[in-house]
Amino acid sequence: MLIMRLATTPMYAGSILLAAAITLGQTVFPAWFVVFTPIVTNFLGLVWMRVPQPARCILFGGWSNLVFTIMFTAMLICLLA
């Protein structure tokens, strides 16, 4: 349990710093882009707990990977557009 907390604490701190930098205009991304940051999209993982069982295991188990895939894909699209 301690190892898991040591691993996730920097991730959440970095996500909060990224969200703050985006909303304060310190990045090239517009302010609305904060919805694609992991601090916001991780809360959608709570929605997956309401999905029926066969899909819940797949969605909830891989959601942390999908969060970063969504964020980096949105960053790429935003920078190329």
pLDDT tens for residues 15-48? 899 999 999 999 999 999 999 988 888 777 777 7
Instruction: Give the list of residues 6+ apart from residue 51 with CB closer than 8 angstroms, or none.
Output: 59, 60
Range of 62's domain? Answer: 2-80
Q: Is the pLDDT of residue 67 over 90?
A: no
The pLDDT, as a whole number, for residue 5 is 76
**How many domains does the structure of the chain reveal?**
1
Longest CA–CA span in the chain (Å) reads: 42
Q: Is the pLDDT of residue 14 over 80?
A: yes
